[in-house]
Amino acid sequence: MQVKAPRGTYDILPDQVHKWHYIEEVLKGTAELYGYREVRTPIFEHTELFERGVGESTDIVTKEMYTFSDKSKRSLTLRPEGTASCARAIIEHSLYNGLLPVKWYYTGPMFRYDRPQTGRYRQFHQFGVEAFGSTSPYLDAEVILLLVEILNRLGLSEFELHLNSVGCPSCREEYRHKLIQHITPVKDGLCKDCQVRYQQNPLRVLDCKVATCHEAITGYPTLSEYLCGECRDHYAIVRETLEQNGVKYIHDDNLVRGLDYYTKTAFEVHIPDIGAQSAIGGGGRYDGLVRDCGGPDLPGIGFALGIERLLLAVESLKSSCVRPVGIEAFVTVMDDKYELQAARLVNELRQAGIRTDKDYSGKSARAQMKYAAKLGAYLTLFVGDEEINGDFITIRDMQSKKQEQVARDHITDHVKLLLQNY
């Protein structure tokens, strides 16, 4: 029986991977420009970390985690997101005692057992940034400006930035009561999950993915009316800083986060062009997270972007700056007896930094030429009787079809010179 890749996973084949390289370079380059450095955490962690750091009552933890026991009966989970692992690493290495804020970025595969559909996979990829150790609203603005810069550099300037403040535990308390008062009379219209959770955590109803839950609670009071002085000021500075930097945003009262460790700034980015799954990422402040993960009271803010969604958006632009990396030079062997000389030439060119290849299937000279064209080689170099006897190499420009003979000793320099035209 043929074994196929598991449902919800996929191969990124070499003729697609250049797009990934392009996006990853933009992501890393921009984050580093803003002073963020890369962190790499394990793909799996103790299950408990995500229960605490993502939230025991969330869909991610209750329904979507890839959890397994290892041979020592420990419960481990493939990471469903990146922030909890960063918080764990900060605590584990006592980085809260060092230079603050700690500014990190990460990229890699995440895992969620979800119904696969276009742009959504069980192994998917995220890029994220996290800044721990400052409550400054200017840091919130910096993180959002970084996100905006990434989108601009990818050519995705037609995005919508949704922004809100979800307050702090003290101002949310009063709001929670108001919301419960509003929901109670219409609770029969809610989905099963919301009927259970609205008493304890009414904000989760606003967060619910079931559309009828939103319809049931129309006209609900908004959190922005209940923000305390500190949260109000914080939000005003974030907005002012974005405005001063020419960033357009939409204040969105529907943008809430149902978990206690989320505080103040919350944001999401949508790209309308890519359809129903238009949200390509989001983030916010999570001042209670590190404490909930067993660490000190260390504030934090960050965001994550879905790379598959970014790819969809970039592809819909038909971005011409993205093209596959091919070979530059191809060495054609005119006669079997010169294989050794050809191998030396290939090696020399590669050592000089020229992407070079040759045939390994005993093809005729003609077939080798076709092969070189398919590989996208710019130049073909011939090794035959004439060349060996005359101590030169014939070089053919694949586009102009011009040929020239170049002394064997000067070959790498000359090839480099010719490649400057490409």
What span, in angstroms and rounded, lies between the C-alpha atoms of 345 and 322? Answer: 30
Quick one: 59 or 160, whose CB is closer to Zn ion? 59
> Is the distance from CB of 377 to CB of 362 less than 8 angstroms?
no
Q: To the nearest whole angstrom, how small is the minimum distance from the Cβ of residue 255 to Zn ion?
A: 16
Quick one: 13 or 211, whose CB is closer to Zn ion? 211
Question: Is 171 near Zn ion (CB under 5 A)?
Answer: yes
Q: To the nearest whole angstrom, how small is the minimum distance from the Cβ of residue 244 to Zn ion?
A: 24
> Is the distance from CB of 244 to CB of 213 less than 8 angstroms?
no
Q: What single letter denotes the amino acid at residue 128?
A: G
**CA angle at 108 for the pair 238 and 39, rounded to the nearest 5°:** 65
Quick one: 167 or 202, whose CB is closer to Zn ion? 167
Q: To the nearest whole angstrom, how small is the minimum distance from the Cβ of residue 234 to Zn ion?
A: 8
Question: Is 180 near Zn ion (CB under 5 A)?
Answer: no
Quick one: 231 or 354, whose CB is closer to Zn ion? 231
Q: To the nearest whole angstrom, how small is the minimum distance from the Cβ of residue 171 to Zn ion?
A: 3
Choice from 194, 216, 333, 369 touching Zn ion (CB under 5 A): 194
Task: Tokens 């109670």: give the residue.
Answer: 184
Task: Tokens 């192994």: give the residue.
Answer: 123
DSSP-derived secondary structure letter, 188: G
Looking at 88-96, 209-217, 245-253, 374-382, which segment touches Zn ion (CB under 5 A)?
A: 209-217
**Could you give the strand order of the β-sheet that contains 263-270, starting from the edge strand earlier in sequence?**
37-38, 102-111, 123-132, 300-306, 279-285, 263-270, 160-165, 250-251
Q: To the nearest whole angstrom, how small is the minimum distance from the Cβ of residue 106 to Zn ion?
A: 29
> Is the distance from CB of 357 to CB of 333 less than 8 angstroms?
no
Q: To the nearest whole angstrom, how small is the minimum distance from the Cβ of residue 115 to Zn ion?
A: 17
Quick one: 100 or 191, whose CB is closer to Zn ion? 191
**For the chain, how far is it from start to end, CA to CA, in angstroms?**
47
Alpha helices in 132-228 (DSSP H): 137-153, 169-183, 192-197, 203-207, 211-216
What span, in angstroms and rounded, lies between the C-alpha atoms of 322 and 311? Answer: 11
Quick one: 104 or 198, whose CB is closer to Zn ion? 198
| Total site size for Zn ion, rule CB under 5 A | 10
Question: Is 208 near Zn ion (CB under 5 A)?
Answer: yes
Choice from 60, 95, 180, 191 touching Zn ion (CB under 5 A): 191
Strand 250-251, strand 160-165: pairing: parallel
For residue 95 the two structure tokens come to 């980085």
Q: To the nearest whole angstrom, how small is the minimum distance from the Cβ of residue 229 to Zn ion?
A: 8
Q: To the nearest whole angstrom, how small is the minimum distance from the Cβ of residue 194 to Zn ion?
A: 3
Quick one: 111 or 198, whose CB is closer to Zn ion? 198
Quick one: 84 or 166, whose CB is closer to Zn ion? 166
x-marked contacts with Zn ion along 254-273 as a string, rule CB under 5 A: --------------------
Choice from 82, 101, 133, 167 touching Zn ion (CB under 5 A): 167
Q: To the nearest whole angstrom, how small is the minimum distance from the Cβ of residue 216 to Zn ion?
A: 8
> Is the distance from CB of 356 to CB of 350 less than 8 angstroms?
yes
Quick one: 187 or 414, whose CB is closer to Zn ion? 187
Question: Is 343 near Zn ion (CB under 5 A)?
Answer: no
Question: Is 179 near Zn ion (CB under 5 A)?
Answer: no
Residues between 212 and 251 with contacts to Zn ion, criterion CB under 5 A: 213, 228, 231
Question: Is 186 near Zn ion (CB under 5 A)?
Answer: no
What span, in angstroms and rounded, lies between the C-alpha atoms of 164 and 186? Answer: 25
Q: To the nearest whole angstrom, how small is the minimum distance from the Cβ of residue 165 to Zn ion?
A: 8
Query: Which residues, other chains included, contact 352 with Cβ-Cβ below 8 Å and sequence gap of 6+?
Result: 412, 415, 416
Quick one: 85 or 201, whose CB is closer to Zn ion? 201
Residue of 276, 271, 302 whose CA lies nearest to 289: 302
Choice from 91, 168, 293, 311 touching Zn ion (CB under 5 A): 168
| Cα dihedral 245→246→251→254 (10° resolution) | -90
Residues that bind Zn ion (CB under 5 A): 167-168, 171, 191, 194, 208, 210, 213, 228, 231
